Chain A
Amino acid sequence: MRKLKPDRGIQGLVPAIVSLVLFFFTAIVFNLSTAFNILGGLMIIYSFIFGFWSFYKSGNYYFLISTFYLLTFGLVLILLDLPEDFNGPEPKFTDEMKVALLFFYVFMFWLMYVGYQKKLKYRGREVMELAAWDVEEGPDTYTERPRPAGMVDFGKYDIIDFGNYLKKILACYPFQEENRVVMVPIKYGDEFELLYKPNFNYHSKTWIAFDFNGQVSVHISRKDYLDYKDDLSFDHLCESLGQLMITFARFYMRGDKVRIIDRLNSVKIGLFS
């Protein structure tokens, strides 16, 4: 049974809504051809802001598919030569348009496939759901302080590599400090703050820290705690989250990375939550 409340956030739809509003506004004020050009320009901008920047920050190569999809979509919209009379003969595509369309379809279907496989999905909800799997209710137990959650015997660079892997699969975003790596699970919709907000204050978020002496600590933010349907036993929840991450780290260290993905996929959550 799900422990988290359903995600009803519309943050992910904001760029699409903005684009549509701008498109219709331009179409009314100017004409349809200008509207398509504006929309095409927006798609190219989005390809850099949402696609390439996400790839740069996460190291997840699948974002490049999204980047090229948006880029080719933008080009198609710009190259689109609208007929003056829609009842007239069908317009013939130029060679440039045909090439752009070919790449557009390739990247679109590739993106759909990758999206279906959840390669572009931020997995913070899965992490938090897995952590709460067998945690019972415990009212009035929340505290803002971190909790020691166990010990591991991995080296410094193993921990850094593990953090980078979690970043790549979008499970957590690592922040390296002087003597530890702090991993922040990012839920879908929360990535905008991480990606675009300068001085992102990760200490106030939910995090799991692996220090280079092997101590693992967990902090769960009030916002994330209140995102559960019930008041869960906080001590148990923190311990569970810590153990989950230690298990992931052990999978990674012995080369069973796919087990991490399997665990995350075992939580059946929609693509856009």
Chain B
Amino acid sequence: MKFEEAAKFGTYISKSYSKDIFRLLNNYRDISASEAASRLGMHIQTVQDFLEAMSGLGILSKKETIERKRPYFRYTLITQNISFEIDLQKELAVSGEDHLEQAKIREKKNAGVRFSLARNGQYFSNVTIWVGKGRERSEKKINLTTAQGKFLYNLPFPDGKHLTLEEIRIKSGIEPGQMPEIKDLVEELIQYKVIEVLN
């Protein structure tokens, strides 16, 4: 299941009425939203939304029916077993970090950022960024992990040669397994215009 689908499923399955609707769907061969709403004493739109969501997730099938003048849908439960599984590694790997793989980066000129050294002076412990303008300006402090602190310590200067994340990782002596947290920080600092990217 994709992350967004799982989020949608989780939202609906956590509703207090979800079990009652599923019980109806299990007992009826097919059922409409108005029938289920009247049976459970709920608002028709609430039930309609629930059934549509489940249908969208492939748990129900829906069939258009025309009675009198107005068409409507009838819903049928098509599975007795719902598995809820998310492959986080696969899901999160495609969340926009891939473009960083080959990108070359360095500190942006006049970034207006303050780096605080860790106690042993060999990496940074936090970064303070000014966010906003004028009276709305505020300080945002990001506490860094040791790996992130070492990475930023070795980030090229504003007039230094751009380096790839991998080059900086090797220079900093960081394990490859720690790169996801580095990429997360780099993404954040690119947004705050602390790091510039040369694609």
A binds B: yes
Query: When the two chains form the complex, which single residue of A143, A145, A179 contacts B120, counting CB atoms closer than 8 Å?
Result: A179
Residue of A at shortest CB range from B122? A211
A-B contact count (CB 8 A): 56
Contact A235 B121 (CB under 8 A): no
Residue of B at shortest CB range from A147? B157
Interface size on A, residues (CB 8 A): 25
A206 at the interface (CB under 8 A from B): no
A155 at the interface (CB under 8 A from B): no
B107 at the interface (CB under 8 A from A): yes
Contacts of A138 in B (CB 8 A): 159
B2 at the interface (CB under 8 A from A): no
A90 at the interface (CB under 8 A from B): no
A215 at the interface (CB under 8 A from B): yes
Contact B109 A209 (CB under 8 A): no
Query: When the two chains form the complex, which single residue of B117, B119, B121 contacts A211, counting CB atoms closer than 8 Å?
Result: B121
Contacts of B121 in A (CB 8 A): 146, 177, 179-180, 182, 209, 211, 217
Contact B110 A140 (CB under 8 A): yes
Contact B122 A179 (CB under 8 A): yes
Contact B114 A144 (CB under 8 A): yes
Q: Give Cα A210 to B22, complex, Å.
A: 69
Residue of B at shortest CB range from A179? B120
Contact A141 B158 (CB under 8 A): yes
Q: Give Cα A121 to B109, complex, Å.
A: 36
Contacts of B117 in A (CB 8 A): 146, 203
Contact B158 A235 (CB under 8 A): yes
Give per-residue flags for A130-158: 1 if the beta carbon is below 8 A from chain B beta carbons, else 0: 00000000101111111110000000000
Contacts of A186 in B (CB 8 A): none
Q: Give Cα A211 to B156, complex, Å.
A: 20
Contacts of B156 in A (CB 8 A): 235
Contacts of A215 in B (CB 8 A): 122
Contact B115 A141 (CB under 8 A): no
Contact B122 A234 (CB under 8 A): no
Contacts of B110 in A (CB 8 A): 140
A178 at the interface (CB under 8 A from B): yes
Query: When the two chains form the complex, which single residue of A141, A146, A233, A238 contacts B153, counting CB atoms closer than 8 Å?
Result: A146
A236 at the interface (CB under 8 A from B): yes
Among B114, B122, B152, B159, which residue has the most Cβ atoms of chain A within 10 A?
B159
Contacts of A178 in B (CB 8 A): 119-120
Leading 4 A-B pairs by shortest Cβ distance:
A235-B157, A141-B159, A235-B160, A145-B115
21 cross-chain CB contacts under 8 A: A138-B159, A140-B109, A141-B157, A141-B158, A141-B159, A143-B107, A145-B124, A145-B152, A146-B121, A146-B153, A147-B157, A148-B153, A179-B122, A180-B122, A182-B121, A203-B117, A211-B122, A234-B157, A235-B157, A235-B158, A235-B159
B contact residues vs A (CB 8 Å cutoff): 107, 109-111, 114-115, 117, 119-122, 124, 152-154, 156-160, 171
